[in-house]
Amino acid sequence: MPKAEMLNPLTEADQTFVIEGAAPDFRDKDRLKRLINEDEAFRKGLVADEKVFKKVMADENVFLKISSALYFEVLLRRTFRELGQATHTVERAGHQTVPVFDVKEVAALLVREPVLRYLVNMLASFTRIESYAIPVRLSKGVWRKMRFNNMDIDSLSSFCESLPEEQRLGFYKRIADVCLFTLGMFPEHLSFNYRYPSSDEVHPRTPGRRRRGLEDYEEEGRRFYRLAAEHPSLKDSEAAEVFQLLHENFSAARKPLNFISDNYLHFHRQKLFGFA
């Protein structure tokens, strides 16, 4: 069951990387490592350090040297800083880009530490895409093996509907996350798969599959974050508050991901997420 998102402890390699970036000349490295583990504000300050960000961006193989959680925490904290100094964000409209003056809303969302932690962990989860086949009891003595891919909202939705409400929270979360992640990191895939780029006409429907565009993913993302926020098991919890914020501010929540995709990842996205 999803609980309040916490930042994972930095691995030994993560700690060494951060310290070598932020404080390479500090002699007592063990003391810094203790502070990183014991003082969240101290950890946040080091991870957000300009020199750590530059070290991440300068190393082509950095993702092999540090955890995915640290990688995305560095990028998200840098994004928060950059958007705080910007006048607008950018949205794509076909082949054009359109300025949107919503940076205050985006910054107000990211300044909430539980939301930023949630986005860090969410992005890290998409470096591991898996498929499952799980037996589901339909009636006494009758079982059916249901398959789902944790990036496919159709199979996730079908499987979710087969479960009792008390078991659906993880699926509500994942479906909403898939929508947010896809709109944030790979919006052009939705546009390409939904419309022909040259004519802007909608592709013909594929039998057995629902056709979804950008607006559909946003609608589904909002809906499933609301369902997660309202789940009885999360009543009055921090997790419920985060889900509600993402439901209410879904458009703002995808802007940091768009910024990371456009400015930091570029052609590394496919390799990083294995998303085609």
**pLDDT given for residue 276 in this prediction:** 46
Residues 172 and 180: beta-carbon distance below 8 Å: no
State residue 162's pLDDT score. Answer: 83
pLDDT at 131 over 70: no
At residue 203, the pLDDT reads 39
Query: Is residue 179 exposed (0-12), middle (13-18) or buried (19+ Cβ within 10 Å)?
Result: buried
Q: How many Å apart are CA 256 and CA 265, to the nearest integer?
A: 12
pLDDT exceeds cutoff 70 at 150: yes
The pLDDT value given to residue 147? 59
Backbone angles phi, psi at 148, to 5 degrees: -150, 150
24 part of a folded domain? no
Asked if residue 105 is part of any domain, the answer here is yes
Residue in this structure with the two tokens 């993402």, named with its chain if needed: 246
* pLDDT average, residue stretch 220-232: 97
The whole-number pLDDT of residue 190 equals: 76
pLDDT of residue 244: 98
How many folded domains does the chain comprise? Answer: 1
The three-class DSSP label of residue 197 is coil
pLDDT at 66 over 90: yes
The pLDDT value given to residue 52: 98
Look at residue 8 and tell me if it is in a domain.
no
Buried b (16+ CB within 10 A) or exposed e, 216-246: ebbebbbbbbbbbbebeebeeeebbbbbbbb
In a domain, 83, yes or no: yes
Q: Is the pLDDT of residue 205 over 90?
A: no
End-to-end Cα, the chain, rounded Å: 29
Residue 91 pLDDT > 90 = no
Q: What is the pLDDT of residue 128?
A: 73
Residue 15 lies inside a defined structural domain of this protein: no
Quote the pLDDT of residue 155. 85
Choose between 109 and 272: higher pLDDT: 109
Instruction: Quote the crossing angle between the two packed helices 68-84 and 12-22, to the nearest 10°.
Output: 40
What is the span of the domain harbouring residue 182? 65-276
Residues linked to residue 195 through DSSP beta bridges, in sequence order: 202
Residue count of the chain: 276
In a domain, 43, yes or no: no
25 belongs to a structural domain: no
Residue 58 lies in a domain: no
Helix (H, G, I), strand (E, B) or coil at 7: coil
Sign, Cα dihedral of 269, 79, 54, 66: negative
Give the pLDDT band of residue 197 (cuts 50, 70, 90): very low
CA distances in angstroms from 76 to 31, 156, 172, listed in the order given: 26, 27, 24
